[in-house]
Structure 1
Amino acid sequence: MKSKFLIVIAVVVLVAVGYFVWKSKFSPEVRAIRLVKQALIDPDSAKFDQVRYISRSGAVCGGVNSKNRMGGYVGMIAFIVDKTGKVTFEPMVDTESGSAESRVDALQQSITFLELVRANCTVDSGES
């Protein structure tokens, strides 16, 4: 009886350790963070926020703040990593100045990104 209990405890511990190793090395969130860092100028400076896997779309969505070429942080930028591994960042566009054509182009880029957010990053009420 005691040996069965020890076996059960050992199996539970192994499953728990396996889960935490998988979660810290191979989860969709970890894969997405790795892909986002590859697209940054200074990957070591990256600070991530609200990174979450959306099972409905297979995408990982979140925010990242990292340093630019001048060494300053650019501010939190939203990102989407789709299930194929394609990384898309929120466009950094100026919709307040410039010609009407450049403002329309900037708005279109923002709309395109927001459509990606709606398609990939929204969760149903039962999903977290």
Structure 2
Amino acid sequence: MKIKIVLGVVVLLVAGVGAIQSTAWYSKYRGEQRVREMLKNPDAAVFRGVYYYHQTKGICGEVSEKNSMGGYVGFNDFFVDADGVVAFYPEKDDHRPLSEVSPETAKKRLEYLDIRLKICPDVNVEGGVSG
């Protein structure tokens, strides 16, 4: 009888972990789909460092797409919030230190990072998980 109970608990735990992983996978997929909808060439999008955050239901990562000449433009940071709203790191931002950019560029960058840190609290802007 005890063996049946233990086996039952193990089966429930495995099923629960599988359901959580399935939810994370599907959420990441839906987040990538939302990002693709915002791109000029969605079929050529390449993603990296995409993470789903169960607590905030947000997705963060990086995406690169092809330009009109057919070349990849380089990876850009993005997030998708729980409502499906997509935001990208400020366009045409060359990642210079805040002290070297215009006040308008600095403001856009800080606003983006403020929201992103609320959605994906342990990911840095380069796309990796902080540890």
TM, length-normalised to structure 2: 0.67
**In the alignment, structure 1 residue 37 sits paired with structure 2 residue 30:** no
Pairs within 5 Å for 1:16-35: 23=22, 27-35=26-34
User: Residue 27 of structure 1 aligns to a residue in which SS?
Assistant: helix
User: Residue 102 of structure 2 aligns to a residue in which SS?
Assistant: helix
Cα RMSD (Å): 3.4
User: Residue 30 of structure 1 aligns to a residue in which SS?
Assistant: helix
Highest Rg: 1 or 2?
1
Instruction: State the distance in 1 between where 2:56 and 2:72 align.
Output: 30
**Contact residue 32 and residue 81 of structure 1 kept, 8 A:** yes
Structure 2 match to 1:84: 83
Aligned-partner residue type, residue 86 of structure 2: V
Structure 2 match to 1:54: 53
Instruction: State the distance in 2 between where 1:28 and 1:61 align.
Output: 11
User: Residue 113 of structure 1 aligns to a residue in which SS?
Assistant: helix
Pairs within 5 Å for 1:96-111: 103-111=102-110
TM, length-normalised to structure 1: 0.69
Task: State the percentage of identical aligned residues.
Answer: 31
Unmatched 5+ residue regions in structure 2?
1-10, 123-130
Per-residue deviation at 1:94? 4.2
Structure 1 match to 2:74: 75
Structure 1 match to 2:118: 119
When residues 69 and 28 of structure 1 are mapped into structure 2, their CA distance, relative to the original with a 3 A threshold, is: same
Per-residue deviation at 1:120? 0.8
Aligned-partner residue type, residue 88 of structure 2: F
Aligned-partner residue type, residue 115 of structure 1: D
